[in-house]
Structure 1
Amino acid sequence: MDLATALTISARGMDVQSTRLRVIAENIANADTTGSTPGAEAYHRKTVSFENRMDAALGVATVAVKSVGTDPTELPLRYDPSNPAADARGYVKQPNVNTFVEAMDMREAERTYSANLNVLQATRSMLTRTIDMLK
């Protein structure tokens, strides 16, 4: 594998992890977002799916974001008859966001991003040293 390929692979890994971090941040920001009308839906947690894609130009498989979807789990209910989003029984649909899970996902995404950044920096350093030797 040449150094340009290593740079591209690392950059794509950083790109998908930055998308993942953005989605996690959105989930955390909306962890308390309920509807504003009676029986309205609350915020649904978003998820990111990855896929391997063959890059014909590079001749290697790289990672890409397959889709950003919503978590299909049921929204929890909380009894709060004074809330404007309460249904006829007094229950409000709450977001299906677990901030603990989001924090762990964020930590994993940060570490993966950091690992790709380290590979990128090491590859750049090798390229710089190679150029210096050719001078």
Structure 2
Amino acid sequence: MTSMFSIFDVSGSAVSAQTQRLNVVASNLANADAAAGPDGKAYKAREVVFTTAAMGHAATPGVAVTAVRENDAPGRRVLEPGSPQADAEGYVTYSNVNPVEEMVNMISASRSYQNNVEVMNTAKSLLLKTLQLGQ
């Protein structure tokens, strides 16, 4: 029975991790067209780093977010000599966010989230049926 409850620890940790991933993707998409600020630095895309970690009372393996790191790829440079944000060469530096890649990440995270919720719903249903058998 303890192993049945560990399903909730594993899936719950995965849901939490995917929620954080969705938040990072949303932040990246919101800043996809952001130009460099007064400091000359543009927004850098962020990536979530996952790892296996002990979860719950039985130290069941689960998913944990160990870091949210910045992508070091250079930003997109666009020639806009009339822009107040242009550098000495007339280029404006935009974020390094790739909207297509972020949409793929969003779909992947959303599906992982939904799958883990379904796992928890199925486990709950099985536990309820087991209890009904004992009546």
- 1:122 and 2:113 are equivalent in the alignment: no
Could you tell me which runs of 5 or more consecutive residues in structure 2 were left unpaired when the two chains were aligned: none
The answer to whether the 8 Å contact 1:44/1:96 transfers is: yes
The TM-score, its normalising length taken from structure 2, stands at 0.91
Listed one character per residue, the Cα deviations across residues 56-95 of structure 1 (whole Å, up to 9, x for unaligned) are 7324321100100100111121111222211111111111
- 1:15 and 2:16 are equivalent in the alignment: yes
Aligned length: 134
Alignment correspondent of 1:79: 79
Listed one character per residue, the Cα deviations across residues 10-41 of structure 1 (whole Å, up to 9, x for unaligned) are 1111110110011001100110111233x611
Alignment correspondent of 1:49: 49
The answer to whether the 8 Å contact 1:36/1:84 transfers is: no
Q: What is the letter of the counterpart of residue 84 of structure 1?
A: P
Alignment correspondent of 2:92: 92
Matched position secondary structure for 1:49: strand
Could you tell me which runs of 5 or more consecutive residues in structure 1 were left unpaired when the two chains were aligned: none
Write out the 4+ residue segments of structure 1 that deviate beyond 4 Å after TM superposition: none
Identity of aligned residues (%): 30
- Rounded to whole Å, the distance in 1 between the matches of 2:67 and 2:48 is 6
- 1:6 and 2:4 are equivalent in the alignment: no
The TM-score, its normalising length taken from structure 1, stands at 0.91
